[in-house]
Amino acid sequence: MDFALSEEQTLIFDMARSFGEEHIAPNAQKWEAEGSIPKELWPQLAELGFGGLYVSEEYGGSGLSRLDATLVFEALAMSCPAVGSFLSIHNMCGGMIDKFGTEENKAKWLPDLCTMDKVFSYCLTEPGSGSDAAALRTRADKTNEGYNMNGTKAFISGGNYSDVYVTMCRTGEDGPKGISTMIVEDGMAGLSFGANERKMGWQAQPTSQVQFDDCVVPHENLLGVEGKGFTYAMAGLDGGRLNIAASALGGAQNALDLTMQYMSERKAFGKSINQFQALQFRLAEYETRLQAARTFLRQAAWKLDNGAHDASKFCAMAKLMVTDAAFDVANGCLQLHGGYGYLADYGIEKIVRDLRVHQILEGTNEIMRLIISRQMIADAA
């Protein structure tokens, strides 16, 4: 069993890390204060092939594996988890369209997605259906003119910012089999947005409700076929969970790197604080947890790439394990900074705030436990 990255994978990681250090890290606190990411950043990332990471090359994508993608998001999150995670949502939409879309869907949407001339958001959660996603109530009724959509989506990263919204809605009966996926463009009549949410972290990402009031969506904007939308959404989340875990890992690794530097410089009782054995033990614990999380994340990505029967379970386990470990490590790094960790200038408190939501989105970690245990029980039956 080979745990080493290939030469190409190492180059992918290094390219993303270098881009982040040059273009993202110096601006991260400014973008957080402004509550938005400049749109001109995205085509620059797309030039590196990061706009359509696992979109087929035929439509302008990079055709990379899910494992390759985790390397990109881990590396970018070392500069800012909020920016890297937003890119992961865009790529989740691209993966869904590439995998499940008709040829017409792909030809229409994927080229602009891959160049990031259009930014895509994923719309599943509603005010009354978070963890119980199959209970969503946004409805699209088919008419001669198109699908007439009504409803509200909540907590949408890119609300009132993105150009395209990949939206799960009800076209049929109650339950998962009545759900379809529509591709809704900004500017369509009946599409509107709530005010930007005030959040603990991810403040650089505009987040709002997305509202549909008799919004007419053309028939050709149906993704794939009617009634398969919930399947598409859940398949998208497998990869999304890996990416969110990778972003958490990158943020925590940056926190540990910053802490190592700080502890070598900070003096107490006549010596640098990295010479105190009690604090050395903390460093050893954090390094072990992050290395274990990284290995497990890459195993889960390998399973998804290879179509393993238990890939969904491993994606859920990786999301649970990595996001919990990453938050704990980042929070511990803040403690090792003492009072300085609480100050924005040192960058640690932002990482802690950004990583907290990784334990919630793409399915809460409580839901990950349900997915894991149900698969265990099914396999044992």
Longest dimension (CA), the chain: 79
Beta bridge partners of 152: 211
| Burial state string for 75-90 with b = 16 or more CB within 10 A and e = fewer than 16 | bbbbbbbbbbbbbbbb
Place of tokens 């399973």: 303
CB 5 within 8 A of CB 71: yes
Instruction: Verify whether residue 103 is a known catalytic residue.
Output: no
Beta bridge partners of 170: 139, 179
CB 256 within 8 A of CB 274: no
Helices (H), ranges, 202-347: 229-265, 277-305, 311-336
Kindly write down the DSSP assignment for every residue of 297-317, as one continuous string. Answer: HHHHHHHHHTT-TTHHHHHHH
How far apart are the C-alpha atoms of 234 and 211, rounded to whole Å? 22
Place of tokens 């270098």: 18
Which residue in 103, 197, 362, 366 is the catalytic one? 362
CA-wise closest residue to 166 among 129, 123, 132: 123
Beta bridge partners of 153: 210
CB 221 within 8 A of CB 201: no
Q: Which residues contact 54 (CB under 8 A, 6 or more apart)?
A: 61, 62, 63, 64, 65, 66, 69, 91, 94, 95, 98, 239
Give the 3-state secondary structure of 163-197.
CEEEEEEECCCCCHHHEEEEEEECCCCCEEECCCC
Q: How far is CA 220 from the centre of its chain?
A: 27
Active-site residues, by number, are 362
